[in-house]
């Protein structure tokens, strides 16, 4: 029985008539999925670059205390929504769909850290999940002069191709959104 199967398989592999349907069926999905993954990665890299740019420009404004001190007491008047609006204004391309905007998908953490006894941030970033009830930000503490501050931004986005390639491999929340995280550290300048 096995000889008969092997014999018919050898005969099949030696034949040169027919068309290249098998090669086409095998190779085209492979090349197409690589193409979709490269498009997904390009869009992801562009979003990550805009998030990093928005966070860096906002951190620079906070660090230099330019225009954030309404009471003239040397302490910037910062809250989560103000810093989030600054990042969204500086970032540009973080909205991922027609109903999403940067303000509804961005969550920030800002915490002081002691550089001599550094404790790392929690490995899991505090991110928005639009499929669940709204929770307040986990950690957002204003710092004082000469204090090391670490700011982490997490934004949610819709993958372009969520069922293929890279878009399929992203960890997604209940609403099908993937997370992107950017971190920055700074020391607030004295006035």
- From first to last of its 191 residues, the chain has per-residue pLDDT tens of 788 888 887 887 776 666 667 777 788 888 888 888 899 999 999 999 999 999 999 988 888 765 555 555 555 567 888 888 889 888 877 765 544 578 888 888 888 888 888 888 788 888 877 666 666 666 777 777 778 888 899 998 888 888 887 888 888 888 888 889 999 998 877 76
Q: Is residue 5 in some structural domain?
A: no
Q: Is residue 9 in some structural domain?
A: no
CA distances from 11 to 16, 21, 23, 26, 134 (A): 10, 18, 18, 21, 65
Alpha-carbon dihedral sign for residues 33, 175, 96, 186: negative
Q: Is residue 6 in some structural domain?
A: no
pTM of the model: 0.76
Token digits for 160?
A: 């372009």
Q: Is residue 11 in some structural domain?
A: no
Please give the residue range of the domain that contains residue 31. Answer: 21-187
Indicate the SS3 state at residue 106: strand
Question: Which residues are bridge partners to 187 per DSSP?
Answer: 148
Q: Structural domain tally of the chain?
A: 1
Q: Is residue 139 in some structural domain?
A: yes
């Amino acid at each position: 029985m096995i000889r008969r199967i092997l014999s018919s398989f050898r005969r099949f592999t030696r034949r040169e008539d027919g068309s290249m349907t098998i090669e086409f069926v095998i190779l085209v999905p492979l090349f197409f999925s690589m193409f979709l993954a490269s498009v997904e990665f390009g869009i992801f890299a562009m979003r990550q670059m805009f998030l990093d740019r928005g966070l860096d420009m906002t951190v620079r404004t906070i660090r230099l205390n330019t225009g954030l001190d309404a009471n003239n007491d040397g302490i910037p008047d910062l809250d989560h929504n103000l810093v989030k609006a600054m990042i969204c204004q500086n970032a540009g391309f973080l909205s991922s769909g027609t109903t999403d905007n940067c303000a509804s998908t961005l969550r920030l953490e800002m915490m002081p850290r002691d550089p001599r006894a550094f404790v790392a941030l929690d490995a899991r970033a505090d991110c928005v999940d639009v499929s669940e009830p709204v929770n307040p930000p986990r950690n957002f503490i204003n710092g004082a002069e000469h204090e090391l501050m670490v700011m982490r931004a997490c934004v949610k986005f819709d993958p372009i191709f969520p069922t293929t390639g890279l878009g399929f491999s992203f960890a997604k929340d209940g609403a099908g959104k993937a997370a992107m995280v950017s971190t920055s550290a700074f020391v607030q300048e004295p006035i």
